[in-house]
Amino acid sequence: MPDVQSLVNEFILKLKKRKIEGSQATARQTAVLLRSVISQQRIPYTSQAAALIDAVRAVGEQLIAANPIELAVGNIVRRVLHIIREEDLSLTTAAIEGLNVSSVSDDDGDTDKDDTPGLSAAALAAAARSTLRPPSLQTLLEDLPDSSAIPHTSSSGGDSDGKSKSADKSTRSRKLKHDVIEAINELIQDIDTCHDQIAEQAVEHIHHNEVILTLGSSKTVLEFLCAAKEKKRSFRVFVAEGAPRYQGHLLAKELVARGLQTTLITDSAVFAMISRVNMVIVGAHVVMANGGVIAPVGLNMVALAAQRHAVPFVVLAGCHKLCPLYPHNPEVLLNELRSPSELLDFGEFSDCMDFGYGTGTPLLHVVNPTFDYVPPKLVSLFITETGGHDPSYMYRLIADYYSADDLVLQRKVASVK
């Protein structure tokens, strides 16, 4: 798989250099990459799912380490792992049902089938063991031996069973890969169309003669507002410019191009204006499992102002932004500081840079964080592709998309035998 490895390396480099803008693009490229990894992965006949999972995990760890702040990468990795598990589970249940049927029907059959009742039990057990069971104390204790035991039993069973079993297994393995790749394709499609699905709900939330406030720029918000505009809702938008990246300017340009009444304000004027605003609609970088939001810097201030004036604070987020992790000290640990040159001109302040008495440390520090953490109690509503949700519901969505096993992606250190 050298070409896959080179693809992986290339992607890692892009992540490290922060070349990819936006979590949607990152998520999509991650999914595509993992699809290639899976399709190229050679998996053994037995415990295919485990093999796939290991492979994806290995790649995923590297990707996450390249850009820990871009949580969309980790989200997609975990989604893929969840897909693998699910597909495997569904295949196995289908296989087990198939075995049952076949054993019942072929009771008085050929010699092969004579063994099936007995072997089928062993095969059943083997099959059951080869699927990824939810962790129980037994599995936790016999983890390593288990994985090595399975091939033996299955091989012993397979020897006696003959080609049919192996034939079954090979078809099953091919089917697993096929299903997983199909599911990943669906995932990619979901990522691509998340804007449209969210924008469909715009009409329910934006009414006539409303005033909307937003900060910075988000493609989801842009599509959302334009969808409402297309449904002939007339409203106006206040865009806060979102220093120091000034992405609000870009959003204002886009909105004006699509015919919306837009007013550009400074971030400092947010509290002054918010008393006349009906709704605050913003995008998110990541949505955490507790319903908290990692959002562009300045949005915590907006959320506090909205709470003070009882203005609904609506966050638009595609499912790929939903992260199963809980935030601990997110402001510091899930944040990135950007260059001070965005705030101060180095040339103008060069004289200030050298001042340092005694300790020699510079007297002037410049702080330029990228993200802000908005706690769940300040968020009124999350709008995802599946509809609107309260922040307290987000953990349920996580159960839909992710498995509990995958939360920690680091390889477990092999325990002492």
Partner 1 sequence: MDPRRNPRSVIDPKVRHVGFLPPDRSLSTPSPDSHPSDDDDAALSPVIIPPPRHHSDNLSSPSSASHPVPPLAHHSPRYSEFSPRSPAASSPLSVVGSRLAADGEKETGGAGGSVRVLASSVPLSALTTASVVGVSRGITETVKGCVVEVQNEQPAILKPVKAKTTKAERRALQEAQRAAKAAAKVDATVDSNQSKSAKLSQQKNDPSSVISLDKKGHSSDRPPEKERKKDAPHPRMQYDDTSRVEKAKRKAVVKQTEVRNRVELFRHLPQYERGSQLPDLETKFFHLDPLHPAVYKVGLQYLSGDICGGNARCIAMLKAFQEFIGEKIMMADKVIVNHAVTKIRDGDVLLTYGSSSVVEMLILHAHELRKKFRVVMVDSRPKLEGQHLLRRLVREGISCTYTNINAISYIMHEVTRVFLGASAVLSNGTVYSRVGTACVAMVAHAFRVPVLVCCEAYKFHERVQLDSICCNELGDPDMISTIPDRKEIDGLNNWSNVDNLQFLNLIYDATPCDYVSMIITDYGMVPPTSVPVIVREYRGEHMWG
Interface residues toward partner 1, by CB under 8 A: 238, 241-244, 246, 249, 252-253, 255-256, 259-273, 275-276, 297-298, 300-301, 304-305, 308, 331, 335, 342-345, 348-349, 352, 355, 357, 363-369, 372-373
Distant-in-sequence, close-in-space partners of 393: CB < 8 Å, separation ≥ 6? 291, 382
Core vs surface per residue 243-280: b (16+ CB within 10 A) or e = bbbebbebbbebbeeeebebebbebeebeebbeebebb
Asked whether the beta carbons of 49 and 132 are under 8 A apart, the reply is yes
Least CB distance to partner 1 at residue 364 (A)? 5
Least CB distance to partner 1 at residue 208 (A)? 17
Least CB distance to partner 1 at residue 333 (A)? 12
Distant-in-sequence, close-in-space partners of 136: CB < 8 Å, separation ≥ 6? none
Least CB distance to partner 1 at residue 275 (A)? 5
* Cβ proximity to partner 1, 197 vs 370, nearer residue: 370
Residue type at 97 in one-letter notation: E
Report the run of H or E that residue 295 belongs to, with start and end: strand 293-296
Least CB distance to partner 1 at residue 233 (A)? 15
Other residues' Cβ atoms within 10 Å of the Cβ of residue 339: 11
Least CB distance to partner 1 at residue 398 (A)? 25
* Cβ proximity to partner 1, 107 vs 342, nearer residue: 342
Least CB distance to partner 1 at residue 41 (A)? 42
* Cβ proximity to partner 1, 7 vs 304, nearer residue: 304
* Cβ proximity to partner 1, 149 vs 364, nearer residue: 364
* Cβ proximity to partner 1, 312 vs 375, nearer residue: 375
Structure-token pair, residue 347: 């040339």
Other residues' Cβ atoms within 10 Å of the Cβ of residue 350: 9
Question: What's the CA gap between 353 and 367, in Å, rounded?
Answer: 14
* Cβ proximity to partner 1, 108 vs 351, nearer residue: 351
* Cβ proximity to partner 1, 181 vs 304, nearer residue: 304
Cα–Cα–Cα angle for 300, 324, 127, rounded to 5 degrees: 175
